[in-house]
Structure 1
Amino acid sequence: MSRTPSARVLRLFGLGSRAESRRIADILRAETVGGALLLAGALLGMLWANSPWAHGYEALRSFEIGPAALHLRLDVASWAADGLLAVFFFVAGLELKREFTAGDLRDPRRAAVPVAAAMGGVLVPAVAYLVTTSLAGAADAGRGWAIPTATDIAFALAVLAVIGRHLPAALRTFLLTLAVVDDLLAIVIIAVFYTEHLAPLPLLGAVVPLAVFSLLVRRGVRAWWLLLPLAVLTWALVHASGVHATVAGVLLGFAVPARKDATVAEHFEHRFRPLSAGVAVPVFAFLSAGVTIGGVDGLSRALTDPVAVGVVAGLVLGKPLGVMAATWLVSRLTHAELDENLAWVDVAGLALLAGIGFTVSLLIGELAFGAGSARDAYVKIAVLAGSLTAALLAAVVLRLRDNVYRRIEQTQAAAPPSA
């Protein structure tokens, strides 16, 4: 049956509103810089951990600081994972709230594609990990099923910025949106599956400062001296409850109102995104990525461990397969059409890029197997290897497509203007 001109057709990867496109462009520029800093921090940690001065790196990671009376005497590595990443997840919470209340994703039709792609990008890597480790006979590997499910947006956008300068903006927007939903799923996974000992009283106590924080920001209060103590108290109580403290960051982000005519969320995002991308995530990467490889033999031993093989399989195979399959399924079920400026090979390149897991993958690895354990070290090497492999594969596909779009731009620029 032919479609009438007035029929509304859902365009996969279509451009959003002009205001939303400008806002996302600003985020992309910030995340690209953050990705470069993340890579620098991870590289520095790796080099130091494998240098003759490796004992200094471990001494730094294990140095304890904080008030023991409040059960907050933690080592520096734990402060990075529990404290600094709370800032990262606070910004993620702000972004999630805005996307689903004031952004283009408030439209269920537009939200369907990235939500489905993110869900596919979580389920299929988890299955790939579990199947791989089960075939290898690693009965104790099940706790790590969520490690390859996360996409590191800063890392992925940094790669995309280098190799895809001529790619359509819709691809970058989709990657960011997919990663936002991916963050939400990661938060749920951490809260539900990686909370071993729950203390109900501190968790209930966290509701009080969180409610006061929410009330104040909804009234437009921005005074840091009033809001920061409430946020820290919320974080401390969630930490004491046994739920991973980064969840507090998300809850605080959700508490901030996000409306088109309100600037409170934008104000906090403007203030905290540089702190997240420029300090929190790079420092966490520096303190988490440093693992002693032990030469060629150590690298071979690490990458043949069943858990490591499962992580690499999930990132390199499961993640792109899940994103592609879910996107194709939505297009079939909704009769949506790919944007006229794109091809499915572009989507495949983007799906490969989604296999870059780093920040949240490393965090889940520590939660699953214990920071500093031998298996955690294998996970770190696997996450780095899998992310690098996914980045290289995506670079090949997207670089070829970037050349195609560059030639199209050159042809259009050389064409004589129409009368």
Structure 2
Amino acid sequence: MPGRTRRKRIVLGHLPLPERRFVADALRTETVGGVVLLAAAVIALVWANTPWKGTYEAVRDVHFGVAALDLDLSVAHWTSDGLLAIFFFVAGAELKRELVVGELRHPGTAALPVLAAISGMAIPALVYGLVATGMGGTWNGWAVPMATDIAFALGVLAVIDTHLPSALRAFLLTLAVVDDLGAIVVIAVFYTSTINLAALIGAVLGLGLFFHLHDRRQVHGWYWYLPLALVIWGLTHASGVHATVAGVAMGLLLRVAEDGEQGRRPAEWISHLVRPVSAGVAVPLFALFAAGVSVSGDSLSNVLTEPEPLGVALGLAVGKVLGVLGGSYLAVRFTRARLGRDLAWADLLAVSMLAGIGFTVSLLIGELAYPDPADQEQIKAAVLLGSLASALLACLMLRLRNNKYRRLYEEENRDENADGIPDIYQRPDPASSRDRGRSPDGNRDRHGRGRGGSAGPGASGN
């Protein structure tokens, strides 16, 4: 109606209870995995900078596999092409869930994290390009500083013992998921040089069979899907497309609609089962054999003086902050979104700094963008330096605001009647009921659950 004022949608307020439970489960595993990832990175750095460096390189370069299938790969290659496919499978499943029944299905709530993620990928690439080409370098590594490493960021949060509110943790998770999708698109489009058409067609047919069994026939049993997944992965690798693309493709094909027989959403349940393998095994092992770079005065000097490494480091430490914070501001300024009453722009600044930790996927893209081992060493050092700078700046900001976060954390988790439902979801507060007790499908009960009381959101979808 003419003259009618449209109500602004609150973003980064209290999560709906089912969404909060899902996010808490995901981040609990990622936090543990982040600590393991930090440990693996430290071990790799120490190992590669001791007299046993030759042993590290020997183990990393050991080849094994089936040569007839073009799968005689080094240990480092197996971790980047093989184990990281598990990581991207979980990312694909999480993205599918968010798009179908999660917060990303609502344009109003999706605007802020999506714009922040897109801007958080574009601005670091632009910063890299301006720095590298301005110093006489190339655009080769433009995609390296685009990614956010959610596990590493959560590991940092665990180490400094900060009580980041659940809404900000969910925002960080969404940023990372969208970043992962962007990274896999970049890898598929820009880092595929030759295509084996027969193998690619075989991989697509395998994905079609995966979809038919899982979604149309609703066949249960891991013994059907694990062999099929290995065949799809092998054909994707043989096709010339980076094999991690197979992981995200299978994740996106998972069914999100509630399973009538099991009473749960397969995408949620499968990602719940696979996430510990991804966060606790796949990603740390990749870090162990990717982060082992020589740290010396010369290597650090090269990062600060050579165009491409400096572009990567500044893209992460500066570009990510400008991109994520700028995208968030644009979303609030030009859409009907507004921040939750408990948060301020300083909080988004801290999360933007955390987003500059681009460890895992940045290392992967660095290996693809710079095939020469000497160039890879410099780029890896730049990724480590840029991620470390982002982590330190984020830690400083988060510690300054941790008293506030502790108060919000205690309020979010207070359960005085000990019924298992936090009190904030039972307050008769009309002004905040929309962002406290409503499930993504708009249905509520007195506990803030969607109809059916499931642990996941109450809407169904494919």
TM-score past 0.5 threshold: yes
In structure 1, the partner of 2:402 is 402
Give the Å deviation of 1:325.
0.8
SS in 2 for 1:205: helix
Give the Å deviation of 1:260.
4.8
CA distance in 2, matches of 1:144, 1:101: 33
CA separation of 1:11 and 1:410: change in aligned 2, threshold 3 A? closer
Tell me if the contact between 1:203 and 1:238 (Cα under 8 Å) persists in the aligned partners. Answer: yes
Tell me if the contact between 2:141 and 2:366 (Cα under 8 Å) persists in the aligned partners. Answer: yes
Tell me if the contact between 1:150 and 1:357 (Cα under 8 Å) persists in the aligned partners. Answer: yes
Tell me if the contact between 2:164 and 2:409 (Cα under 8 Å) persists in the aligned partners. Answer: no
In structure 1, the partner of 2:420 is none
Q: Quick check: 1:93 aligned with 2:92?
A: yes
Runs (4 or more) in structure 1 with deviation over 3 Å come to 1-4, 161-167, 404-413
Q: Quick check: 1:212 aligned with 2:209?
A: yes
Give the Å deviation of 1:164.
6.0
187-196 vs 277-286, which deviates more? 187-196
SS in 2 for 1:142: coil
Q: Which residues of 2 match residues 35-114 of structure 1 at below 5 A?
A: 35-114=34-113
Q: Give 1:301's aligned amino acid.
A: N
In structure 1, the partner of 2:308 is 307
CA separation of 1:305 and 1:17: change in aligned 2, threshold 3 A? same
In structure 1, the partner of 2:265 is 263
Q: Give 2:9's aligned amino acid.
A: L
Q: Give 2:235's aligned amino acid.
A: L
Tell me if the contact between 1:102 and 1:260 (Cα under 8 Å) persists in the aligned partners. Answer: no
Percent of matched pairs sharing the same residue: 54
Give the Å deviation of 1:168.
2.3
In structure 2, the partner of 1:417 is none
CA separation of 1:100 and 1:410: change in aligned 2, threshold 3 A? closer
In structure 2, the partner of 1:178 is 175
Q: Quick check: 1:244 aligned with 2:242?
A: yes
Q: Give 2:198's aligned amino acid.
A: L
Tell me if the contact between 1:303 and 1:378 (Cα under 8 Å) persists in the aligned partners. Answer: no
Tell me if the contact between 1:163 and 1:402 (Cα under 8 Å) persists in the aligned partners. Answer: no
Give the Å deviation of 1:146.
0.4
Tell me if the contact between 2:115 and 2:331 (Cα under 8 Å) persists in the aligned partners. Answer: yes
166-175 vs 317-326, which deviates more? 166-175
CA distance in 1, matches of 2:156, 2:272: 23
Tell me if the contact between 1:17 and 1:104 (Cα under 8 Å) persists in the aligned partners. Answer: no
Tell me if the contact between 1:206 and 1:234 (Cα under 8 Å) persists in the aligned partners. Answer: yes
CA distance in 2, matches of 1:408, 1:325: 25
CA separation of 1:406 and 1:135: change in aligned 2, threshold 3 A? same
Write the deviation string for residues 7-48 of structure 1: whole angstroms up to 9, x where unpaired. 542113123321111110111111001111111111111111
CA separation of 1:267 and 1:222: change in aligned 2, threshold 3 A? farther
Q: Give 1:342's aligned amino acid.
A: L
Tell me if the contact between 2:121 and 2:323 (Cα under 8 Å) persists in the aligned partners. Answer: yes
1:226 to 202, 224, 240: 224
Tell me if the contact between 2:13 and 2:342 (Cα under 8 Å) persists in the aligned partners. Answer: no
Q: Give 2:67's aligned amino acid.
A: A
124-133 vs 12-21, which deviates more? 12-21
CA separation of 1:409 and 1:111: change in aligned 2, threshold 3 A? closer
Q: Which residues of 2 match residues 96-175 of structure 1 at below 5 A?
A: 96-138=95-137, 141-163=138-160, 165-175=162-172
Give the Å deviation of 1:53.
1.1
The number of equivalent residue pairs is 407
Give the Å deviation of 1:397.
1.0
Q: Which runs of 5+ in 1 are unaligned?
A: 414-419
For the aligned residue pairs, the C-alpha RMSD in angstroms reads 2.1
CA distance in 2, matches of 1:280, 1:167: 26
CA separation of 1:127 and 1:236: change in aligned 2, threshold 3 A? same
Q: Quick check: 1:31 aligned with 2:55?
A: no
CA distance in 1, matches of 2:302, 2:103: 47
Write the deviation string for residues 156-200 of structure 1: whole angstroms up to 9, x where unpaired. 112223446333221111111111111111111111111111222
CA distance in 2, matches of 1:200, 1:259: 34
Tell me if the contact between 2:214 and 2:254 (Cα under 8 Å) persists in the aligned partners. Answer: yes
In structure 1, the partner of 2:377 is 377
Q: Give 1:288's aligned amino acid.
A: A
- Is the helix fraction higher in 1 or 2? 1
Q: Which runs of 5+ in 2 are unaligned?
A: 415-462
In structure 2, the partner of 1:340 is 341
CA separation of 1:10 and 1:55: change in aligned 2, threshold 3 A? same
CA separation of 1:341 and 1:80: change in aligned 2, threshold 3 A? same
CA distance in 2, matches of 1:78, 1:313: 28
In structure 1, the partner of 2:388 is 388
CA distance in 2, matches of 1:29, 1:243: 32
CA separation of 1:411 and 1:145: change in aligned 2, threshold 3 A? closer
CA distance in 2, matches of 1:206, 1:408: 48
In structure 2, the partner of 1:331 is 332
CA distance in 1, matches of 2:162, 2:374: 40
